[in-house]
Chain A
Amino acid sequence: MDKPANQLQKQGIRIEGLKKRYGEGDTAVDALKGVDMQVAPGEVVGLVGPSGSGKTTMLKCLGAVIEPTAGRMTLASEVIYDERWKISDLRALRRDKIGFVFQAPYLIPFLDVTDNVAILPMLAGRPNGEARKRALELLEALDIAHRARAMPSQLSGGEQQRVSIARALVNRPPVILADEPTAPLDSERALAVMRILNQMARQYETAIIIVTHDEKIIPTFKRIYRIRDGRTEEEAGEGRSLQ
């Protein structure tokens, strides 16, 4: 935890043979049948696939929200799962090493923009002043600092999504998991969000996995993991320019 962030993030995230089975016996369903994936720091990859293909299950496994059945996950050089969780405090793992961006921003409605972002470092035990300073820096970087005192209900959809990106980044996690972050946005705003995510990935050397079937943004990925029947296939993306 005390190592410099950049050093921690060198390895990004690596997944090998990840499996997830729901239920037992005749009713068992194999949602993931041996998924492999590797995302380097600063890289943004797409995880695409039809409904029911296992995207959400994979995201939940990567987010340490549900336990995989088998496989191995390494996050920033640290093995977090190898047939069983290797980390005892998954809550702290999610707080400190994984950032989440959701389809809807899910900001805390009773906290202003700054505290919506600062709450993560605060939860990690950082002093309020330091947490807010860090939040404001990110809001500045995301060009939303002028709305720092606004409540979520006073923001537009795009502004809310930028705040949720700031929240995901504020603890400098090695990986960010984004679940359909552009789904509710029009093309222009969706591309703007993708620009921000790519810029932030480079700036903070964060590996970003974006689950999507949003046709507007799929062409912007340089690398895509296509998930089908619980297995992933890696393919090159168009890498269309976001400028």
Chain B
Amino acid sequence: MISLAGRDILHSLEKFVLTGVGLGLLIGVTLTMAGVYRGMVDDAEVLLDNSGTDLWVVQKDTLGPYAEPSSLEDDTWRGIRAMPGVADAADVTYLTMQVQGIEPTGLRDVRSMVVGIAPGAPGTPGWPPYLIAGRQITHSHYEVVADIASGFRLGEQVQIRRERYTVVGLTRRLVSSSGDPMVFIPLKDAQQAQFLKDNDAIVRNRARTAGNPALNRPGVPGLLDAVIASQSTNPYVNAVLVQITPGYTPDEVAASIRRWKRLTVYTRAQMEDILVKKLIATASKQIGMFLVILALVSAAIVAFIIYTLTLGKIREIAVLKLIGTTNRTIAAMIMQQAVGLGLIGFLVGKIAATFWGPFFPRYVLLEPADTARGFAIVVVICVLASLLAIRAALKVDPAEAIGG
């Protein structure tokens, strides 16, 4: 038996292809939305993987350092470093802010996550694990390693708050959970960037401190200077990143730190949970809603097109039934057409999503499993969408082919 659906599609190829392309663009958007979600999850995982960390030690009872503010004294790492099972520990600060590119590309702002990394060597927790160009930070101040997504180039001058830095290295796929590229700078610079105020604010603050009789007692020389000095330095970091010694489990080292340092400690799995289930939960729900709406719109389009095409063939269907075509053959014809439309749409959608994905500002991860799931969903939607047309076709009376 010949394929009636195939022949009909070939006969109306232009109409089918144009409809399929329209549907495909919609499917492409749907796949891209799924890819954006996967990209967010992947960004979160890459963020954790690339931090080179087994444990995150943060301020007690906070979800820091990514999901909530966290503040620890910058010498906390020393005590942790000395604990059993700890191979290495280092301070880190995270600050999302505008980093201004200055030369040679001209003034432009880049939303970035500025990461303050402790002095050390490659492999120190928090350091970028690999570079694609340039070198790691070797000076104590004013050097930057930036993610390539920031658009900064080697040798470029960038401004963070009041200081200028030189880009000495470039890395890749190091972004925050919001998709902002990471910019690594020395820890001391980062601490200063977090708290350093402008000159006017400093003058006003000093005047206010000097005006406080409790901090400026005539009988205690040097008190005011000591207070002002303490106000102008920032001894805090957001977290201590810990690498554990082989042979220890993250949970036992974490339990030890919690017990003796009275701080909150997260393992890799717990931190992933925070990032995926808490930090990007709202975004993923929003994307989920879009996916549902897009699926419904796709179904409505397929149903409308197939229903319209079927109504245009009522007389032919009546003739087919009159000459002995079974309902199953007619239903299969309509269903195959709907699935054919879906196949064209899926092919176009997949190509479109693959083509335009890299142009999105956020990382779009098109996973083969999502593609397979998307394909299955498209087929199911097309089958369901064809039911309306099949119902109309099966109601056609073969007697309609005869006389009036």
The answer to whether A56 touches B2, judged by C-beta atoms less than 8 angstroms apart, is no
Asked if B1 lies at the interface with its beta carbon under 8 angstroms from chain A, I say yes
Count chain A CB atoms within 10 A of each CB in B8, B322, B401, B402 and give the residue with the most: B402
The B interface is mostly helix, strand or loop, or mixed, namely helix
| A168: min CB distance to chain B, Å | 9
| B295: min CB distance to chain A, Å | 30
The answer to whether B398 touches A65, judged by C-beta atoms less than 8 angstroms apart, is yes
The answer to whether A100 touches B322, judged by C-beta atoms less than 8 angstroms apart, is yes
Asked if B62 lies at the interface with its beta carbon under 8 angstroms from chain A, I say no
| A201: min CB distance to chain B, Å | 19
A115 to B404, CA, bound (A): 27
Asked if A63 lies at the interface with its beta carbon under 8 angstroms from chain B, I say yes
Chain A, residues 96-139, CB within 8 Å of chain B (1/0): the string is 10001011001011110001000110111000100000000000
Asked if B323 lies at the interface with its beta carbon under 8 angstroms from chain A, I say yes
The answer to whether A110 touches B2, judged by C-beta atoms less than 8 angstroms apart, is no
B66-74, B172-180, B226-234, B313-321: which lies at the A interface?
Answer: B313-321
Count chain A CB atoms within 10 A of each CB in B4, B323, B325 and give the residue with the most: B323
Q: Which of B11, B321, B322 contacts A109 (CB 8 A)?
A: B11
A7-15, A87-95, A232-240: which lies at the B interface?
Answer: A87-95
| A6: min CB distance to chain B, Å | 22
Asked if B324 lies at the interface with its beta carbon under 8 angstroms from chain A, I say yes
A118 to B302, CA, bound (A): 31
Chain B, residues 5-18, CB within 8 Å of chain A (1/0): the string is 00110111000000
The closest CB in chain A to the CB of B6 belongs to A110
The answer to whether B322 touches A94, judged by C-beta atoms less than 8 angstroms apart, is yes
Asked if B51 lies at the interface with its beta carbon under 8 angstroms from chain A, I say no
Asked if A179 lies at the interface with its beta carbon under 8 angstroms from chain B, I say yes
Asked if A167 lies at the interface with its beta carbon under 8 angstroms from chain B, I say yes
Asked if A35 lies at the interface with its beta carbon under 8 angstroms from chain B, I say no
With A111-B7, A115-B2, A115-B7 in contact, do A63 and B323 touch (Cβ < 8 Å)? Answer: no
Asked if A66 lies at the interface with its beta carbon under 8 angstroms from chain B, I say yes
The answer to whether A60 touches B316, judged by C-beta atoms less than 8 angstroms apart, is no
Q: Which of B2, B7, B402 contacts A179 (CB 8 A)?
A: B402
The closest CB in chain B to the CB of A62 belongs to B402
A179 to B399, CA, bound (A): 12
| B1: min CB distance to chain A, Å | 5
Report the interface size class on chain B: 20 to 34
| A198: min CB distance to chain B, Å | 22
| A54: min CB distance to chain B, Å | 11
Asked if A194 lies at the interface with its beta carbon under 8 angstroms from chain B, I say no
Asked if B19 lies at the interface with its beta carbon under 8 angstroms from chain A, I say no
With A55-B403, A102-B401, A179-B402 in contact, do A122 and B1 touch (Cβ < 8 Å)? Answer: yes
Asked if A18 lies at the interface with its beta carbon under 8 angstroms from chain B, I say no
Asked if A151 lies at the interface with its beta carbon under 8 angstroms from chain B, I say yes
List of B residues within 8 angstroms of A123 by Cβ: 1, 323-326, 329
The answer to whether A60 touches B403, judged by C-beta atoms less than 8 angstroms apart, is yes
The answer to whether A110 touches B403, judged by C-beta atoms less than 8 angstroms apart, is no
The answer to whether B11 touches A122, judged by C-beta atoms less than 8 angstroms apart, is no
List of B residues within 8 angstroms of A65 by Cβ: 322, 397-399, 402
The answer to whether B403 touches A56, judged by C-beta atoms less than 8 angstroms apart, is yes
A177 to B399, CA, bound (A): 13
List of A residues within 8 angstroms of B319 by Cβ: 100, 102, 106, 108
The answer to whether A106 touches B316, judged by C-beta atoms less than 8 angstroms apart, is yes
List of B residues within 8 angstroms of A128 by Cβ: 1-2
Count chain A CB atoms within 10 A of each CB in B320, B325, B403 and give the residue with the most: B403
Chain B, residues 370-404, CB within 8 Å of chain A (1/0): the string is 00000000000000000000000000011101111
The answer to whether B403 touches A179, judged by C-beta atoms less than 8 angstroms apart, is yes
| B168: min CB distance to chain A, Å | 67
The closest CB in chain A to the CB of B10 belongs to A110
A146 to B35, CA, bound (A): 55
List of B residues within 8 angstroms of A124 by Cβ: 324
| B residues whose Cβ falls under 8 Å from a Cβ of A | 1-2, 4, 7-8, 10-12, 315-316, 319-326, 329, 397-399, 401-404
New A-B contacts (16) at CB < 8 Å, excluding given A60-B399, A111-B7: A56-B403, A60-B402, A63-B402, A65-B399, A91-B324, A92-B324, A95-B324, A100-B402, A108-B4, A108-B316, A109-B11, A109-B316, A110-B11, A115-B7, A123-B324, A123-B325
- Listed by A's residue number, 12 A-B pairs whose Cβ atoms lie within 8 Å are A59-B402, A60-B399, A60-B403, A91-B326, A94-B323, A94-B324, A100-B402, A102-B402, A110-B7, A110-B8, A120-B324, A179-B403
